[in-house]
């Protein structure tokens, strides 16, 4: 018998308000909008047991119902980013959906395609067996970073190194966040302190926060996928 119940609920969290990009969650994308695009992608992932759109927006919930997925109506205090903390929102959603595991799948990560979700899920359960508590998608960056006191990941002068020799740093992309539902409730968060790092390339990792991000996602949607797999730190070798 398998150790883990592989019952997975994909949650798409969307809300009516958006501070940086108006109506971001339903912005036009791929011949539809970001919310419907994400629903369509998740419906192609057979490993997902159910899809739930969680929102305060009647319009977005209606879109979800039209696409045949489940809905969770959130009251305004769980969407205004003021009354309830983010952790309280995560716990509230986790408490109000079914499933053994939750895949938090934001529609603002539109280039996380079905095959990427399938790969993440296939790596998630062995990761739990190996002692990780969750799975989080990351993008690796190698950039020269400073804080108020100067360089934080390299040295000035003769010890300066090419960017490809910098230590790996990681950006949480919010594209894939996968953990046991009961743990999300316990943590009041969507991943634990020991997540398995599921690495995405720069294209797949795009996360729409403003208009420029949206323009990039649209431009990259139909690009040759082989280009996105090229290691940007080895690009000089193929020029």
Task: Give the pLDDT band (50/70/90) at residue 228.
Answer: low
Q: Who contacts 211 (Cβ-Cβ below 8 Å, separation ≥6)?
A: 21
Judge whether 82 and 100 are in contact, CB under 8 Å: no
Q: Supply the pLDDT for residue 173.
A: 95
Q: Supply the pLDDT for residue 4.
A: 74
Q: What is the pTM of this model?
A: 0.89
* Predicted confidence (pLDDT) per residue in 11-65, tens digit: 999 998 776 678 899 999 999 999 999 999 999 999 999 999 999 999 999 999 9
Residue 119, both tokens: 């790969």
Q: What is the mean pLDDT of the chain?
A: 91
Domains of the chain by range and CATH?
Answer: 8-139+170-211 (3.90.550.10)
Most distant CA pair in the chain, distance: 62
Task: Give the pLDDT band (50/70/90) at residue 238.
Answer: very low
**pLDDT, average across residues 101-107:** 98
* Predicted confidence (pLDDT) per residue in 41-51, tens digit: 999 999 999 99
Is residue 109 scored above 70 in pLDDT?
A: yes
* Predicted confidence (pLDDT) per residue in 67-87, tens digit: 999 999 999 899 888 899 999
Task: Give the pLDDT band (50/70/90) at residue 167.
Answer: very high
């Amino acid at each position: 018998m398998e150790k883990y119940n592989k019952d997975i609920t994909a949650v798409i969290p969307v809300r009516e308000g958006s501070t940086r990009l108006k109506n971001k969650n339903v912005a036009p994308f791929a011949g539809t909008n970001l919310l419907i695009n994400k629903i369509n992608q998740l419906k192609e992932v057979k490993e997902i047991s159910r899809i739930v759109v969680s929102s305060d927006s009647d319009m977005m919930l209606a879109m979800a119902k039209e696409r045949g997925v489940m809905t969770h109506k959130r009251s305004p205090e769980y969407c205004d980013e003021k009354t309830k903390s983010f952790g309280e929102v995560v716990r509230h959603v986790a408490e109000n959906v079914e499933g053994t595991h939750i895949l938090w799948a934001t529609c603002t990560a539109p280039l996380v395609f079905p095959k990427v979700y399938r790969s993440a899920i296939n790596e998630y359960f062995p990761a739990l067996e190996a002692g990780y508590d969750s799975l989080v998608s990351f993008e690796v960056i190698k950039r020269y970073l400073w804080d108020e006191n100067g360089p934080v990941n390299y040295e000035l002068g003769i010890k300066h190194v090419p960017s490809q020799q910098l230590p790996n740093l990681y950006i949480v992309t919010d594209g894939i966040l996968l953990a046991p539902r009961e743990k999300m409730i316990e943590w009041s968060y969507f991943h634990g302190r020991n997540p398995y790092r599921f690495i995405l390339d720069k294209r797949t990792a795009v996360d729409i926060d403003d208009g420029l991000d949206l323009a990039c996602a649209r431009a990259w949607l139909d690009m040759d996928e082989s280009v996105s797999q090229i290691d940007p730190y080895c690009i000089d070798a193929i020029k």
